[in-house]
């Protein structure tokens, strides 16, 4: 990639103070994410992936090292960044319509009501939910609710989109659709995307590169290039011999990373 570095992580370390002493979760992570890139973060359960995302989102402070967005230190939630979590049922407000949910973060941007409306229209259309604007989240399926969470991030037009196991709670078919949606909005809105996933196939399917983290406390074990052609296709890409080889390679790295 020749694009400029968008997110840079340098010797990032994170420990937590607990009643029984200090727990060192992340020892030393260093990697860059380039503008427009989609990078997956994979590693064994409990290795510190969510902790890393919380540090990058400015929700947690680092214990050592630094994280930068566009060369600026991340020391609080950056305006250029949006988050999508796995648990859509807790991220959407049940008493607000789908449209109001999508427009909620836009209030911080100082946009007029018309502009907010236009953005939510566009984002809901992008995720295929133009007809659901007046519904409430609880009237929608799980996959549709996750689409609303993605639409909310899209409407905000973040430069960086960070997602923590975003498709883990939906059925396989919906998951494929949401993966393709994620790739499409990355292209349409020229976003830089970081995704934590437990699903190795998903990591290979989505990514330009995969950062494998492992050990306790966590370190970067390997950074794997995914040279599969874009646009990706759920059937053709997954049937590619290189897809299977990459999946096997990443799986071996994760098994060695325990």
Instruction: Count the residues of the shown chain that bind ligand ATP, applying the rule CB under 6 A.
Output: 11
Distance of alpha carbon 14 from alpha carbon 124, whole angstroms: 37
Q: Nearest Cα to 101, choosing from 137, 128, 130?
A: 137
Segment 14 to 43, residues that bind ligand ATP, using CB under 6 A:
16, 18, 23, 25
Reduced to 3 states (helix: H, G, I; strand: E, B; else coil), residue 224 is strand
- 49 lines the binding site for ligand ATP (CB under 6 A): yes
- 147 lines the binding site for ligand ATP (CB under 6 A): no
- 47 lines the binding site for ligand ATP (CB under 6 A): yes
Burial grade of 107 (CB within 10 A; 0-12, 13-18, 19 or more):
exposed
CB of 88 to ligand ATP, least distance (A): 16
Distance of alpha carbon 40 from alpha carbon 95, whole angstroms: 33
The binder of ligand ATP chosen from 46, 77, 142, 231 (CB under 6 A): 46
- 48 lines the binding site for ligand ATP (CB under 6 A): yes
Q: Which is nearer to ligand ATP, 2 or 22 (CB)?
A: 22
Q: Nearest Cα to 183, choosing from 164, 211, 202?
A: 202
Distance of alpha carbon 59 from alpha carbon 249, whole angstroms: 33
Q: Which is nearer to ligand ATP, 18 or 112 (CB)?
A: 18
Q: Which is nearer to ligand ATP, 51 or 97 (CB)?
A: 51
Q: Which is nearer to ligand ATP, 48 or 166 (CB)?
A: 48
Q: Which is nearer to ligand ATP, 49 or 119 (CB)?
A: 49
Reduced to 3 states (helix: H, G, I; strand: E, B; else coil), residue 160 is strand
Largest CA distance in the chain: 53
Would you tell me which residues interact with ligand ATP (CB under 6 A)?
A: 16, 18, 23, 25, 45-51
């Amino acid at each position: 990639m020749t694009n400029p570095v968008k997110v840079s992580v340098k010797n990032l370390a994170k420990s937590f103070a607990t009643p029984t002493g200090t727990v060192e979760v992340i020892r030393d992570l260093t990697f860059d994410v380039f503008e427009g890139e989609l990078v997956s973060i994979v590693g064994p359960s409990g290795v510190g992936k969510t902790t890393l995302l919380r540090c990058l989102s400015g929700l947690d402070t680092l214990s050592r090292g630094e994280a930068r967005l566009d060369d600026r230190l991340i020391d609080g939630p950056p305006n250029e960044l949006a988050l999508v979590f796995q648990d859509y049922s807790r991220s959407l407000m049940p008493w607000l319509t789908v449209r109001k949910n999508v427009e909620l973060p836009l209030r911080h941007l100082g946009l007029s009501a018309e502009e907010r409306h236009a953005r939510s229209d566009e984002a809901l259309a992008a995720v295929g939910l133009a007809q659901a604007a007046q519904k409430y989240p609880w009237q929608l399926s799980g996959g549709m609710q996750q689409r609303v969470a993605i639409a909310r991030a899209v409407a905000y037009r973040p430069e960086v989109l960070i997602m923590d196991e975003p498709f883990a709670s939906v059925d396989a078919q919906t998951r494929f659709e949401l993966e393709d949606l994620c790739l499409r909005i990355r292209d349409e809105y020229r976003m830089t995307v970081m995704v934590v996933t437990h699903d190795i196939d998903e990591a290979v399917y989505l990514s330009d590169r995969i950062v494998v983290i492992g050990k306790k406390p966590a370190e970067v074990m390997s950074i794997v290039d995914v040279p599969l052609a874009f646009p990706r296709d759920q059937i053709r890409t997954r049937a590619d011999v290189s897809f299977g080889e990459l999946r096997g390679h990443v799986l071996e790295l994760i098994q060695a990373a325990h």
